[in-house]
Structure 1
């Protein structure tokens, strides 16, 4: 009977080049691979929702869905910006504080959830499901903020 893949193994299958923060010098690279994967999905979703807005506006410029779509695309862009500008895991952080094995396991779990949620937002945009996109986006935002704390010692993570 085949065993279930670990979060690290799942991430390695999903994201080419991902090594699981194993090598100190590659912590930054793995962090950037996860970020790029999420950003690509979110940019695709934003593009899909923007096209949807254009189609709706052409038919009825006063459609109430336009406000919801505008809010959603704005929050997607805001999250993309936050992901792009957040301090990269490992660049100075790893040099100052060692990331322990149990933290790595938590980071793998967060990364797997984050890439899954980014894919859900993208899928919801393809299906034109605003409720599903909003729900996944909100969970993604929360997990992204929680994950950042794992790269710091507990006394500094607040």
Structure 2
């Protein structure tokens, strides 16, 4: 019976070049790959919703769905900007404090969950299930903040 893939193995299949935070020098690189992948999926959702919004606006300019779509787009753009503009891999923190194996495991699990949620958001956007997107955005945002804190020593979280 084939065994189930570990979170690191799943991420390595999803992201070519991902190494799993094996060396301190690679923390920033792996962090960037994760954040870029999440941002790409968010961009896919933004593109899908924007396209459908423009079609709806041209046919039904007073549709209440337009306000819902604009609210979702605003939240997605804000989250994408925050994810891509934050300092990678905890900045220079990892050089001063050791990140132990348990924390790396938590970071990897957060990475995989972030990518899965971002993909779910993109899928929901493509299938016009807008009412399910805001809770997913909130989940992704919370997970991102938790993950970000894992790069810092426990006393600074």
Q: TM-score range by the shorter chain?
A: over 0.9
Q: Runs of at least 4 residues of structure 1 off by over 6 A?
A: none
Partner of 2:114: 114
Per-residue deviation, residues 26-66 of structure 1 (Å, max 9, x unmatched): 11000000011001000010011011111111111110011
Q: Indicate if the aligned counterparts of 1:11 and 1:112 stay in contact, CA closer than 8 A.
A: yes
1:1-158 pair list within 5 angstroms: 1-157=1-157
Cα distance in 1 for residues equivalent to 2:94 and 2:124: 36
- The structural deviation recorded for 1:98 is 1.0
Per-residue deviation, residues 121-156 of structure 1 (Å, max 9, x unmatched): 111111011022222211101101111110001111
Structure 1 alignment gaps of length 5 or more:
none
TM-score (norm 1): 0.96
- The structural deviation recorded for 1:90 is 4.6
Cα distance in 1 for residues equivalent to 2:18 and 2:96: 23
Q: Indicate if the aligned counterparts of 1:27 and 1:91 stay in contact, CA closer than 8 A.
A: no
Structure 2 alignment gaps of length 5 or more:
none
Secondary structure of the residue aligned to 2:155 is coil
- The structural deviation recorded for 1:120 is 0.4
